[in-house]
Structure 1
Amino acid sequence: MAHRSRTSSRVVGALLIGAVLCGTAACTADGSPDDRSGASDRPNSTTVAAVQKAVKKGAELNSLSYRLSGKVPGQGTVKGKASFSLRPRAADMRMTASGGVQAGEFSVRLVGDAGYLGGGERAAAVLDGKHWLKFALQDKEAGGFGGMLRQADQDPAAQASLLAQSDDVKKAGEETVAGVRTTHYAGVVDVAELLKKRADKSPLDAGRRTKVVEQYQQLGVSELHLDIWVGPGDRTVKLRERAQAAQGPLDVTIRFLDANKPVTVQAPPASDTLDLARKLRESKKELG
């Protein structure tokens, strides 16, 4: 039983890691970090002020729904949709991966301090017929799995806010995104320096900012290329993040959808869920 529990945990972790990594800006799309998105204007006060206004609007968001797509190194092409809220804490990510080792459909749900990873029939094959694996986010016994779920608990508004800290933020032009007229801004930020310097007059909560920076550090990102497209009302319409991470190039494009609308996430049925912490406790008892 103990051996099977450990094997199941490892296998389902391999099945679901692609979905979680995609939720932490580990997707790739066309282009590379060296592509500066055609930015040509020198930094100026008007550009900086416009980006700061968009950051302020994003910081005010309590909930957001968004789509993302791209390619995860070693995982294949990934696309999906996610919704999250800060208060109450909840998130629902649904991903489809193809062309890679982790091909299939995956789901990640966060409900309070509990996280759930689902991998369909492939997960059921190694989880005693269950389709979901439950983790307590703060449970040290969950090991690396708890870290995976914390990474999935991302905050796109906080990610976009980092552009305001770029020393070379530029206006890259005017573009229409999904029928919305937007202004495109781009810049590069030094991830290591983000926590060293104070974000003057930043409307973003310090905890949210620190959390997103640490996520990039965990991925081994040192230099982050950011592009945002800002529409009417200073609302961010699209975000693109690019970097060279420890395991290869990372690139993700996020299309912001509904903002500040109710997000309801339900835990999977207990009858269809394997509780990792309980399994680990049972294994320890069996081992004496």
Structure 2
Amino acid sequence: MAYRSRTAPRVVGALLTGAVLGGTAACTAGGAAGGRAGASGRSDAATVAAVQRAVSKGTGLNSLSYRVSGKVPGQGSVKGKASFSLRPRVVEMRMTASGGVQEGEFSVRLVGGAVYVGGGGQAAAVLDGKHWLKLAVTDDGAGGFGGMQRQADQDPAVQASLLPGSDDVRKVGEETVDRVRTTHYAGVVDVAEAAKKPAGKRPLAGERRTKVIEQYRELGVSELKLDLWVGPGDRTVKFRQRARATQGPLDLSIRFLDVNKPVTVQAPPASDTVDPEQKLKEASRRLG
């Protein structure tokens, strides 16, 4: 099974690209340096309350579609679109990466307890002409691909939940985003301090927030710059995250699209999919 060792880096690359998705991903800056410049002292209660209302609506979502673009540490520039639903639990990401170790188009689908990773012609070149690799998703993250499961449990709205905890969250001003009138808020978050603060009243939201913080720590991020654009009805319209990670700058902008609308994800045809687990079972039967 020579395809395994050659495909694994592409799988990991696709995961990081989507992340962060989710991917997903929430901070800013060409780096942490100069982090709190422009802050006007400690946050005022009205500003924090406005941001918290937007965050509360975001973390209560069951489904979301969004566009993402920017830079991911070690992966170069990325852009694409993603949709996810928590009930039923499905994810679909379509990403393009350039200027990094992994380049090209990648697709990730999570459906029916399995994650499918595709890379178009690139995947076909190493998968005997097939375009998708199927991986089992397990609760303990076995097999080295537990990140796929973590990604399915995260979303940009959860990443934005770190902003109200910033010591200098502030109102930047009124701005128009894609013809939508919004209020722009910003702040700097210390990752270590964020980990010490209460996660919130909803157990699931708290668990997802904790996983987001762990993800930033794994990237070597100590300080985040977060920007949030809030539109009518306290709905998040856009979110940006910037930071300096171990492997380079993180700078992702996420434009929220459809909220709480049905998300349907189809598993790729079995005839166009390589299933390593099934191949191992078949080999085991042949060997007795």
TM-score using structure 2 length: 0.86
User: Which of these residues, 3, 6, 16, is aligned with residue 4 of structure 2?
Assistant: 6
Percent sequence identity is 68
Q: Is the 8 A contact 2:171 2:186 kept in 1?
A: yes
Q: Secondary structure at the match of 1:134?
A: strand
Aligned partner of 2:166 in structure 1 is 166
Q: Shift of the alpha carbon at 1:150?
A: 3.0
Q: Is the 8 A contact 2:27 2:243 kept in 1?
A: no
Q: CA RMSD in A?
A: 3.0
CA distance in 2, matches of 1:125, 1:28: 36
Q: Is the 8 A contact 2:85 2:91 kept in 1?
A: yes
CA distance in 2, matches of 1:208, 1:258: 21
Alignment of 1:240-251 (within 5 A): 240-251=240-251
Show CA shifts across 1:26-83 (max 9, x none).
Answer: 7998844446685546410110110111111112211111001113344333210111
Aligned partner of 2:50 in structure 1 is 50
> Residues 168 and 203 from structure 1, CA distance in 2 versus in 1: closer, same or farther, beyond 3 angstroms?
farther
Q: Where does the alignment leave 5 or more consecutive residues of structure 1 unmatched? A: none
Alignment of 1:134-213 (within 5 A): 134-138=134-138, 143-148=143-148, 150-151=150-151, 154-199=154-199, 205-213=205-213
CA distance in 1, matches of 2:180, 2:69: 19
Q: Shift of the alpha carbon at 1:177?
A: 0.8
> Residues 101 and 50 from structure 1, CA distance in 2 versus in 1: closer, same or farther, beyond 3 angstroms?
same
Show CA shifts across 1:93-124 (max 9, x none).
Answer: 10112344422111011114311111011111
Aligned partner of 1:19 in structure 2 is 17
TM-score using structure 1 length: 0.86
**Higher alpha-carbon deviation: 61-70 or 203-212:** 203-212
> Residues 35 and 182 from structure 1, CA distance in 2 versus in 1: closer, same or farther, beyond 3 angstroms?
farther
Q: Shift of the alpha carbon at 1:255?
A: 0.4
Specify the code of the residue in structure 2 equivalent to 1:120.
G
CA distance in 2, matches of 1:279, 1:139: 22
Q: Secondary structure at the match of 2:162?
A: helix
CA distance in 2, matches of 1:102, 1:270: 26
Aligned partner of 1:60 in structure 2 is 60
CA distance in 2, matches of 1:30, 1:191: 15
Specify the code of the residue in structure 2 equivalent to 1:175.
E
Aligned partner of 1:224 in structure 2 is 224
Q: Shift of the alpha carbon at 1:229?
A: 0.6
Specify the code of the residue in structure 2 equivalent to 1:19.
T
Q: Shift of the alpha carbon at 1:186?
A: 0.9
Specify the code of the residue in structure 1 equivalent to 2:110.
L
Q: Shift of the alpha carbon at 1:285?
A: 7.5
> Residues 73 and 27 from structure 1, CA distance in 2 versus in 1: closer, same or farther, beyond 3 angstroms?
farther
**Higher alpha-carbon deviation: 165-174 or 117-126:** 165-174
